[in-house]
Structure 1
């Protein structure tokens, strides 16, 4: 399929109700994600087509592009540029989670993005840091990360705050020697303490999150 045919298929999948829900979260597309994944499964990996879809700037097309691309085929500067273009939250999340994490430039970008003055870009860096805290913490200055979180979390913009809070929770969950301090920081700052949480879901408030995940690990 060429890019015009795919765009036509995406337009046919547009659902005003889905768009209305997504707009509340800052995502300007109306395609059900299960249906989008079904399209990706049929297309399989097509990196050139992924590039053409990304270039349209359309949110649904970019999400599809991230599902059919070859993550390791992107260069460092290309990924950096894509992240700075990816202002829709879902595109941002999928780019980091599905592409950057599989890239040989992941660690370089993690370090560079974490210190970026753009809070959305910095949020991507902190998301990658939280992932590394959980999976590959060797070489990270965990006490230093807690120092930064303690100083900056409260006043951080929403997406950066969420990523830093996730890093705080991961340190508390995965590193017993720092758990008490992580919980103390969460209790003092009270970030996301009143966040609405659906029944059966774990609160993103770090002290509750940490305590619950440790309980599950020990059960």
Structure 2
């Protein structure tokens, strides 16, 4: 398929009701993600088509691009440019999780993005840091991360605050030696304490999140 043919199919799949729901969460597309994944499965890996779709000004096309690209072929500068173009939450999340984390430049970008003045970019750095906290903590200064979270999370921009909070919870969940301090920071800062949580879901409030995940680990 050509990029024009793909864009035409995406336009047909756009659902106004779904778009309205997505817009409440900061996203600007109306394509069902399950349907989008099915289209990606049909297209298979196509790096050149992925590049053309990413270069459009359409979030559904960018999401599809992330599903059919080859993550390891991007160089550092390309990924840095892409993260600065990923302004909607879902595109940002998929770019970090489906592409950057699988790329050999991920650690270099983590340390670069971590302190970037752009909150969208900084949140990507924190997301990559949380990945390391959970899977490869060797070499990370966890007390320093807790210092930063304690000092900055309460007043951080929303995207950075959410990412910092995830990192705080992950430290408390995976590192018992830092759990008491992580819980204390969460209790004192009260970030996301009142976040609406559907029945049966785990609250993003760090003390509740940590307690629930530790309970599951011990059952």
- TM > 0.5: yes
Determine the C-alpha separation between the residues in 1 that align with 2:216 and 2:23.
34
1:92 counterpart residue number: 92
> Residue 57 of structure 1: CA displacement?
1.8
2:41 counterpart residue number: 41
Alignment of 1:40-189 (within 5 A): 40-189=40-189
SS in structure 1 opposite 2:138? coil
2:218 counterpart residue number: 218
Determine the C-alpha separation between the residues in 1 that align with 2:95 and 2:120.
13
2:4 counterpart residue number: 4
Determine the C-alpha separation between the residues in 1 that align with 2:94 and 2:198.
23
2:208 counterpart residue number: 208
- How many pairs were matched up? 219
SS in structure 2 opposite 1:20? helix
Determine the C-alpha separation between the residues in 2 that align with 1:14 and 1:149.
39
Alignment of 1:23-38 (within 5 A): 23-38=23-38
The alignment's TM-score, normalised by the length of structure 2, stands at: 0.99
SS in structure 1 opposite 2:195? coil
> Residue 102 of structure 1: CA displacement?
0.1
The alignment's TM-score, normalised by the length of structure 1, stands at: 0.99
1:45-90 alpha-carbon deviations (Å, 9 max, x no partner): 0000000000112100000000000000101000000000110110
Determine the C-alpha separation between the residues in 2 that align with 1:82 and 1:54.
9
1:141-194 alpha-carbon deviations (Å, 9 max, x no partner): 000000000000000011100000000000000000000000000000000000
SS in structure 1 opposite 2:163? helix
Determine the C-alpha separation between the residues in 2 that align with 1:74 and 1:215.
40
Determine the C-alpha separation between the residues in 1 that align with 2:59 and 2:191.
30
Determine the C-alpha separation between the residues in 2 that align with 1:198 and 1:37.
26
Determine the C-alpha separation between the residues in 1 that align with 2:151 and 2:121.
19
